[in-house]
Structure 1
Amino acid sequence: MKGNAHILVVEDEQDMLLGLRKILSKQGHHVQIAETGSIGAQKLEQSYFDIVITDLKMPGMDGMELLRKAKGVHSDIIVVMITGYGTVESAVEAMKLGAYDYITKPFDPERIRTVVRKALKQIALINENRYLKQKMREASDTQNIVGDSKKMQGRLQGILCSH
């Protein structure tokens, strides 16, 4: 699946922020950027995003708090954490809070492209699952309509008894 995802990148390091925007925009994604967690949280409340890529350590609102807010706004949103200060503890905490992936800096740009590609496949599966569940509900809601009335039940019983 290529392009057209709405991605929010939240990163306080300007070079990293612009680099991520460039990498993702070249893939055809719609990318918005925020230099702080607070600005990122505002953007999450104002617009829909498929994926959020956020730095872990930022002044003010950090990436963990932004992850919590993102999941509060849209529980199925994909959040990817990036950090130059990765620890096992922070990775475990991020995953428990619902992060999709945890990437330590420096990283190869291909790593970001791969994570986004896999995340988009997961989003497609979630959407397909939701669609199929809705169709199943609709089918089960209408399945018993024909035979629900007493009059129809009587006729069906008559047909079955005559054979």
Structure 2
Amino acid sequence: MSDKNEIMRETIINWGLPDALCEKYNVDFKFDDEVFDNDKTKGERGYYCKDGEVKFCLYDNELKQVLFSMEFFKRGSKVSELTNKKVIILELLYVHEEELRKKGIASYYLDKLIDYAISENMDYIQITANANAKNFKNDRKKNALNQKELEEFYKKRSTSKMPIKLL
């Protein structure tokens, strides 16, 4: 693993865990699908940390399930050169377990991403807010945000210091 990838992994691990996951869960950060080799659970896959692009999950070792997933990356340098804007694209921010939704987990990691974007001198974070994305098709919607609520969730966190642009 390159130094760049190791630094990115450490950065995310250092974000820590939100209160909702600290007490009764045995959680690890996972950056690959290795944990799922003998795992029968369904759901999100394709975790990685490569060249500044990251898709990670919080995995409960006792329950043997993914609790949360997040994926983001910096927009390619050629596009950034053309637009003269440095952008982080948030692809996925998702609390898998319905009992954990609306407990501040997604907010916690979005705030961490905002801080990271500021520290990296990004111009803004770009998000396609889609409450009905294919990733969520097979999941139950209990405690999930609808499309309007999801858009408001992101808009509330947009600031002049780090704007969030919805597509």
Per the normalisation by structure 2, the TM-score is 0.27
- Structure number with greater Rg is 1
Comparing both structures, which one devotes a greater share of its residues to helix? 1
